Amino acid sequence: MEEYTDKELVRLFREDSNPGYAFNLIVRKYQEKLYWHIRKLIISHDDTDDVLQVVFIKAFQSLSGFREDSSLYTWLYRIATNEALTFLKRNKIRKYLSFGAISTYLERTLEADAYSDGDEIKIKLQRAIINLPEKQRIVFNMKYFDEMKYEEMADILQTSVGALKASYHHAIKKIERFLKGD
């Protein structure tokens, strides 16, 4: 398969007589990265698949109006983050539950996940991440797992680099305390 740049994919989508083909290339290029980003926020495989489908539907509907102020990857990531948070809100997880109850809900989802490989170290790390406040959890996942640069994260989350660095630092400290059992 020929590898296209993001700009080429957007141009192909807009100018080609078959935008579905170009969009399929976009999906194949970013599906796995977006899946794991959403999965780290929602935990459940089935819910992640549902949210990912919504992300790609919204992206398909909006791609012709994409202004290219940011990269295609950043734009898709922003949609994925927003949809994951919307899913959590819609399911009343954030709206009606305390922070502790949210963590408990996500931990139970993690334990019941048939797609988890059962690796105790990974599960303990996921528990530590789940117990982070939402913003710190998102920043940690993007920086640690996705190896994003702060500038790219700032564009996606629409916040300052300084705020992201502080959130990441606090997240690291909380995870360390959690793993040590403090």
Domain 117-182 has CATH 1.10.10.10: yes
Q: Which residue has the higher pLDDT, 125 or 148?
A: 148
Q: What is the pLDDT of residues 5-17, one digit of tens each?
A: 999 999 999 987 8
> Domain-by-domain residue ranges, the chain?
1-97, 117-182
Fold match between domain 1-97 and domain 117-182 = no
**pLDDT of 83 over the 60 cut:** yes
Across the chain, mean pLDDT equals: 85
The answer to whether residue 30 scores a pLDDT higher than 80 is yes
DSSP secondary structure string, the chain?
Answer: -PPPPHHHHHHHHHHSS-HHHHHHHHHHHHHHHHHHHHHHHH--HHHHHHHHHHHHHHHHHHGGG---SS-HHHHHHHHHHHHHHHHHHHTTHHHHS-HHHHHHHHHHHHHH-TT----HHHHHHHHHHHTS-HHHHHHHIIIIIS---HHHHHHHHTS-HHHHHHHHHHHHHHHHHHHHT-
Mean per-residue pLDDT, 67-75: 91
Q: Is the pLDDT of residue 42 over 90?
A: no
Identify whether the C-beta of residue 73 lies closer than 8 Å to the C-beta of residue 30. yes
Tell whether domain 1-97 is in CATH 1.10.1740.10.
yes
